Amino acid sequence: MDFRNSSRNKRIEHWIIVILISSLCMGLNFFVSKLTWQIDLSKETKYSLSRESLALLNKLEEPVEIIVTIKEKNNLPKITHKFLQDLKLLLGALENAPTSKQIRITYLDVDSPRNLPDYLSAFQLNEPNLIVVASPKGGQKTLFRYKVESASNPYDSSTPFRSNDNAARQALWESNFYADWKESYNGVMEPTKFRGEENLVRSILEIAGQKNKRNTAYFTTGHGEKSPFDLDEENGLSALSGILQDRNIKVSTIDLSVSKSVPEDAIMLVIGGPRGTFQDQEVASIQSFLNNRGGKLILSIDPVEELSVLDRPAFGLRSILKEWGIRCHDMLIYDSSPENYDFFTGSYILRTFLQKNNHKIVEQHIRLGLSIQSDRCRPVETLETNVNNSTMCEILFSSQNALGLSGWTQRKSPPEKNELLDLEGNIPIISVSEKGSGKNNQTSQDTKVIVLGSSSILSNKYLTKSSGNQLLAKNIVYWINEIPEMLDIPPRELNTFSISMQEEEFQALLYSIAIIPGFIALSGIFVGWLRKEL
């Protein structure tokens, strides 16, 4: 009986020790999983954060959440896999960085039925394939968005076909995470530099660094303008509104005839396709915003059809435009060349830029050969005289065959050129004007004005369909919102691996590889022989 008890006790003791060892190991695993130590062996520790980033991240004023909703699956395009790998290394380094406030990385599966974790419930995160930087008080900013195209039939000409790889490349290219794209051996554009660190640190500072109170884009109302909240596929400006919100710029509307001045939190005014004229008091408010507060203005105006508004040129905004060295003729651009119109939609295609010294807004269009689509448009020229020391630049032009028709509502079709009043040749359609901060300004920011000769360029009609228009809108927002003193973080060179061996060389490699197992086999035979002999 005693022996039986002893045996049973030993068995129990044995299992208790097993349970204790298991518990100890699980506990150790738990603590180790909290560690984030890494040793970077690469030359110049290129997978760790640069000194510049570390110094900047020490200025954080509140904790930061970085949320990645890209699910790593085997069927993702290769470029997306590569991006995820580069991103993981960077996010790991950011999470471990000795910052003044915590940076937390969350990989989220938005398709999962589980609720969001508590600390993310304040943010709107219901879309896959996003990278979002957010903080409780600073809002959220979308750094990367990649929409998976639903499968379409490549032989069906009525639906545009794009491969997932192509869509992913465009999303990455637009996100500015990669730079210096070069054609690879197989003719595909591949990036050679990773700018993720600069991109992420910049966004983190925007969200959780020193607060910039001016973070709202005000769209004017009261003159028949297009609305930022209008989802209409033709005339709405909701796509532009989405681009602004992705940059953590709030969107609101303002009726300047009611408000005495532009609100303090305004970073920019957007006047999208007005139909009525602005009154003197409204013009004065806009002038004050631009001249005294380093404001920004995006103005898109269409050719005027109604005779009632012709008495106040450019909808009453001529004085502002003149002050900033821009003239906006009340004309219509007429182009007789059918090749400048889209065959299916009839959209006017703009693809003429300056030969050199192009503005940064359209630099990528030139490099990639992208065009911009528009409906009817009007000329937007810069003046030769420099009114208030601003720098003006015309950035997009009509084709050489275009005419700028004055009094176009009265003209016959096809119109005959009026030598005295009409414009001809490459007529500018988008112009910009900017001025560095002067002593009179209350802020240190530059004043920037961009005028587009058609409100359709930034409307949903083209922003949702044309890559050129999307890029233009994004670049306008980047240009308007750029902070010149940022950041001196060097991009990281990407590793590229390739091979170019002939068949004979592969054969030679195979034979040389055979040396190792051959040696093992001979050693085994020798050892076998020794065992037999000795």
Measured from the CB atom, is 80 or 399 closer to other proteins? 80
| 354-to-75, 135, 358, 360, 393 alpha-carbon distances in Å | 42, 42, 6, 12, 10
Nearer of residues 160 and 524 to other proteins, judged by Cβ: 524
Per DSSP, the three-state class of 203 is helix
CB of 69 to other proteins, least distance (A): 8
Q: Which helix (H) or strand (E) holds 134?
A: strand 130-135
Nearest approach in angstroms of CB 498 to other proteins is: 5
Nearer to other proteins, 117 or 438 (CB): 117
Looking at the Cβ atoms of 186 and 357, the one nearer to other proteins is 186
- Shorter beta-carbon distance to other proteins: residue 92 or 276: 92
> Which residues are CB-neighbours of 349 under 8 A, at least 6 positions away?
340, 341, 342, 371, 372, 373
Tell the smallest beta-carbon distance from residue 44 to other proteins (Å).
11
The residues near 228 (Cβ < 8 Å, ≥ 6 apart) are 217, 219, 237, 238, 240, 241, 244, 251, 253, 270, 272
Q: What span, in angstroms and rounded, lies between the C-alpha atoms of 497 and 413? A: 60
- Asked if 268 and 296 count as a contact pair (C-beta separation under 8 A), the reply is yes
Q: Name which of 17 and 421 has its Cβ closer to other proteins.
A: 17
Using DSSP, state whether 362 is helix, strand or coil. Answer: helix
Which pair of structure tokens corresponds to residue 337? Answer: 């060349």
C-beta of 112 vs 157, nearer to other proteins: 112
Closest CB 71 distance from other proteins, rounded Å: 6
Q: Whole-angstrom Cα distance, residue 320 to residue 56?
A: 38
Pseudo-torsion of CA 498, 503, 509, 511, nearest 10°?
A: 160
Which of 91/205 has CB closer to other proteins?
91
Minimum distance of other proteins from residue 470's CB (angstroms): 27
What is the closest distance, in whole angstroms, from the C-beta atom of residue 120 to other proteins in the complex? 9
- Do the Cβ atoms of 155 and 138 come closer than 8 Å? no
Shortest distance (Å) from residue 12 CB to other proteins? 13
Q: How far apart are CA 475 and CA 281, in angstroms?
A: 31
What is the C-alpha separation between 385 and 204, in angstroms, rounded?
Answer: 41
In the numeric block, which tokens belong to residue 220? 């004017």
For other proteins, give the closer residue by CB, 75 or 158.
Answer: 75
Query: What is the nearest approach in angstroms of other proteins to the Cβ of residue 170?
Result: 19
Question: Shortest gap between Cβ of 514 and other proteins (angstroms)?
Answer: 7
Q: Which of 485, 434, 490 shows the shortest CA–CA distance to 210?
A: 485
